[in-house]
């Protein structure tokens, strides 16, 4: 199957969803490439577009899509762990490192893998925060990360600061 893409409007800007050989391989921020505007002939692309629209409308908490992110074995392990973080919750880079059985100090390597996630939103790297709960590192920018967490009803440290 050829590579096919669609642009999805969202509260965090236009996203380009890329599907190849029956699986989502990328979601890119600041979509500039033209994509299909209407229904796609590719059922996976159609499902991805529909599920993202439902997520951004607050009607979906998880994704049911075939994914094929390209990366090293280590990155694959980290991305698989991202998929286990429930909607509306956060975890830390250190906690992911510990769950993967990595030595202390491996949180930086986890952060680097998190930052290289080619399928953001669906593989929820936005749910990973610093050890003190602050928003740190997000390939799409911290404003997008905060927006995604607010969409999931997660109060960020900045939200809490605004209350006091």
The Cα 120–Cα 117 span in angstroms is 6
Say how far apart CA 154 and CA 56 lie, in whole Å: 15
2 is catalytic: no
**Strand ranges (E), 72-143:** 91-92, 128-129
Catalytic residue (choose from 125, 135, 149, 151):
125
Angle between helices 73-82 and 107-115 (to 10 degrees): 80
What residues are annotated to the active site?
125
């Amino acid at each position: 199957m050829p590579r096919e893409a669609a642009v999805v409007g969202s509260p965090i800007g236009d996203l380009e969803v890329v599907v190849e050989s029956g699986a989502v391989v990328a979601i890119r921020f600041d979509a500039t490439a033209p994509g299909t505007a209407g229904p796609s002939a590719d059922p996976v692309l159609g499902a991805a577009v529909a599920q993202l629209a439902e997520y951004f409308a607050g009607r979906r908490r998880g994704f049911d899509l075939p994914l094929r992110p390209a990366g090293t074995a280590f990155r694959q392990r980290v991305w698989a762990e991202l998929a286990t973080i429930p909607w509306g919750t956060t975890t830390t880079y250190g906690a992911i490192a510990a769950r993967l059985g990595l030595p202390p100090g491996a949180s930086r390597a986890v952060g680097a893998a998190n930052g290289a996630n080619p399928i953001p939103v669906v593989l929820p790297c936005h749910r990973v925060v610093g050890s003190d709960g602050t928003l740190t590192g997000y390939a799409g920018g911290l404003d997008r990360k905060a927006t995604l967490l607010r969409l999931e009803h997660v109060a960020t440290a900045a939200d809490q600061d605004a209350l006091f």
